[in-house]
Structure 1
Amino acid sequence: MTKPTYEKFSELVGKTDLEMYRLGWTEDQGREHLWKYYGVRSRLQLTEEELDNFLLYLQLCDTPIS
């Protein structure tokens, strides 16, 4: 799988990493969310808009997924 070419990709991935860490999410929890809402298992498969929306979702969460 190749890395997306949009400029903000690395920045958005870094921010989602920080938010997932803040929430205590595991990689599996992140993948589960991506599969449930976007039908993909990796942030590499998201469009810029989808990755930005995923980041916003994480920023608005107060607690981890159970």
Structure 2
Amino acid sequence: MVCNDAGLAAQDRRLAASFRRALESGVPPWRLRRQQQSWLDAREDAARNEPGAVADLYDQRIRELDEVGGEDR
């Protein structure tokens, strides 16, 4: 789904950058990875059941990671 949608692909790149910054902020990596896996599960559920919600899930997760990583958006 992400690969076929330019907007979601851009959000996926932003999410990856936010995730890296969050990892660099000193949060235990295991905690971030566990949270990220939960988010990935929610994204997959949304993609199957409510595709229009996927972009909103990306925005929400990026905001969460940016707060952890110290980014102001």
Give the structure-1-normalised TM-score.
0.57
Runs (4+) of structure 1 exceeding 3 A deviation are 4-7, 25-29
* Aligned match of 1:52: 59
Q: 1:48 to 1:56 in 2, by over 3 A?
A: same
Q: Distance in 1 between matches of 2:8 and 2:65?
A: 16
Sequence identity, in percent? 9
Higher share of residues assigned helix: 2
Give the superposition deviation at 1:41.
6.3
Deviations 1:8-57, CA, capped at 9 Å, x for gaps? 2011110110111112256554113x16xxx5265x84611111111111
The unaligned stretches of length 5 or more in structure 1 are none
Contact preservation (8 Å) 1:19, 1:58: yes
TM-score by length of 2: 0.53
Structure whose CA Rg is larger: 2
RMSD (Å), alpha carbons: 3.0
